[in-house]
Chains A and B, each alone.
Chain A
Amino acid sequence: MCLGIPAKIVKINGSIADVEIGGIERKASLDLLKEAKVDDYVILHAGFAIQKLDEEEAKETLRLLEEIGI
């Protein structure tokens, strides 16, 4: 039940955003985020964006993965 999916913010209207997940659009409440802007990726859970995704950290994790996996 703790499923969360990365979704891209395409439009913001007050505290509600239109987000895109693999080509499908959904609504997401931004009430639990300090800040968010169009093009940010967020984790969507039960209609709420619960955290922003950090691009730099994602790259760093992939770099570490490659290091271990070689």
Chain B
Amino acid sequence: MKMNRPYMKYLDEFCDPKLARGLIKAIEGLVDREICLMEVCGTHTVAIFKHGLRGLFPKSLKLLSGPGCPVCVTPTQDVDTAIWISRQKDVVLTTFGDMMRVPGTIGSLEKQRANGADIRVVYSVLDALELAKTNPAKKVVFLGVGFETTSPSIASCIYTANKEGISNFWIYVCHKLIPPAMRALLESGETTIDGFICPGHVSTIIGSLPYEFIASEFNVPCVISGFEPLDILQSVYMLIKQIKEKKAQVQIQYSRCVKPEGNEKALAMLYEVFEPADSNWRGIGVIPNSGLKIRQGYNRFDASIHFEMPTSQVTEEKSGCICGEILRGVAIPIDCPLFAKVCTPEEPIGACMVSSEGTCAAYYKYGG
């Protein structure tokens, strides 16, 4: 758990190996039956693998990865549409780097760029807006992917662009919301989940209240967790304690960043610009009100309105890829016959192997 970098406040205190050993012992003392927890967020999946936490838990404690990798749940059609946009005259398509290699049915954005399309990776949506301002003859489109952690910043950028009267900037919105996806998983009943490790940074925005239905309607405990090893261990401990005491509550372990009410200013900005809409999740299908669309007052920034897009046809996964099952917690990567044989991070077949936060990529890199 030692880091090769200068000391960082709020990170390094939560990596202490001595405290970790104590927590693992406390967890061992509590687990007396098979327990299955789901970490919803891909950033948690990576942290759990990177710190080797799975190997430290008792055998009867299972961790399942959930649908919380935005790149992995972006359906093929949206990748195809982004590629189509990048082929239009004068367009500069901007995106977060993670989306570049995701396969659509007609290749990836990376391949498209190699074929001459003007596709640029940006760190922030503000960089895309800047690009629009400095290139008035170009049509700058940003591919908006991400959960509640990311969407308020996109909303804020649209708000600014509107105020400044920018007319050559659009967003192709693929944003998704986490709580409706958790509801869909629970309602499907496909897999038994005894507790949820809830996403820390999504919750900095939405707070703890949107998870209450999971405890009250489904009787499943939730703990909102930070991302350092001690955060995750403590969250697992808190979940197992609830399970043992037959409680189902929403608790906040990551209290240094998460308030029950969330970030009210960010939420207000999010819903000033966006409204909930049905959304298609790769491997899961359409989930009611699980996505976002730009409200009418701002729809001149909506790429899906500005560009006359062809209606997309193809929906199915590449043959043999079981990303969908993995995203629903029904299967794990080693159940996939293509895993590590045909499908590798260098030659990915499905999105779960492309994204560094995809479950298949994490299994490949750190071992299941």
Could you list which residues of chain A lie within 8 angstroms of chain B, going by C-beta atoms?
A: 1-6, 8, 21-23, 29, 31-34, 41, 43, 45-48, 50-51, 53-55, 57-58, 60-62, 64-66, 68-70
Could you list which residues of chain B lie within 8 angstroms of chain A, going by C-beta atoms?
A: 5-11, 13-14, 18-23, 25-26, 41-43, 68-71, 96, 98, 123-127, 145-147, 149-150, 152-153, 156, 160, 199-202, 204-205, 230-231, 234, 237, 253, 255-258, 263-266, 269, 355, 357
Contact A66 B357, beta carbon cutoff 8 Å? no
- Taken together as a complex, chains A and B put the C-alpha atoms of A23 and B9 apart, in Å, by 12
Contact B153 A62, beta carbon cutoff 8 Å? no
Contact B18 A58, beta carbon cutoff 8 Å? no
Name the one of B11, B231, B264 contacting A6, with C-beta atoms under 8 angstroms: B11
Name A26's closest neighbour in chain B (CB-CB): B123
Point out the residues of chain A lying under 8 angstroms from B69, CB to CB: 1
Name A23's closest neighbour in chain B (CB-CB): B6
Point out the residues of chain A lying under 8 angstroms from B231, CB to CB: 61
Point out the residues of chain B lying under 8 angstroms from A55, CB to CB: 256
Taking A1-B43, A68-B237 as known contacts, 12 extra A-B pairs with beta carbons closer than 8 A to each other, sorted by chain A number, are A1-B150, A22-B6, A43-B204, A46-B125, A46-B150, A47-B125, A48-B152, A51-B257, A51-B263, A51-B266, A61-B231, A62-B14
Contact B13 A69, beta carbon cutoff 8 Å? no
Contact A32 B6, beta carbon cutoff 8 Å? no
Point out the residues of chain A lying under 8 angstroms from B13, CB to CB: 58, 62
Name the one of A29, A54, A66 contacting B153, with C-beta atoms under 8 angstroms: A29
B17 CB to closest chain A CB, in angstroms?
Answer: 11
- Taken together as a complex, chains A and B put the C-alpha atoms of A3 and B360 apart, in Å, by 19
Name B23's closest neighbour in chain A (CB-CB): A69
Point out the residues of chain A lying under 8 angstroms from B96, CB to CB: 1, 46
Contact B255 A32, beta carbon cutoff 8 Å? no
Point out the residues of chain B lying under 8 angstroms from A66, CB to CB: 19
